[in-house]
Structure 1
């Protein structure tokens, strides 16, 4: 018997999927990833980027608050 916690891994999003979600160009998502503004994970031998949906949602919350502060 093992004492492993129930850890569910959520599906990872591609750079293209995140760009579509955020309505920005794919290169913008890559730049934000390089600048560590948007958290990403590198997978595979090629180092493809993958994003957790939770991280993208947190990014949206942060950016939404920042934009609303700048508008006032």
Structure 2
């Protein structure tokens, strides 16, 4: 997992946790440490699946959810 700031610079990387089945999906917990404050938004990319934009507030409070399928 790669985290970019609002300027498009890579600011942190992390990994997906172990997947757990949940109905018809598989849920992965994610934790990325060392993301610096100060960006108005962040973009998160898992592998080659494309970037997802989250606000700074969402990022700080763990407000990230995405579909990989």
- Which TM-score tier does this pair reach, normalised by the shorter chain? under 0.3
TM-score of the superposed pair, with normalisation by structure 1: 0.25
Answer 1 or 2: which has greater helix percent: 1
Greater gyration radius: 1
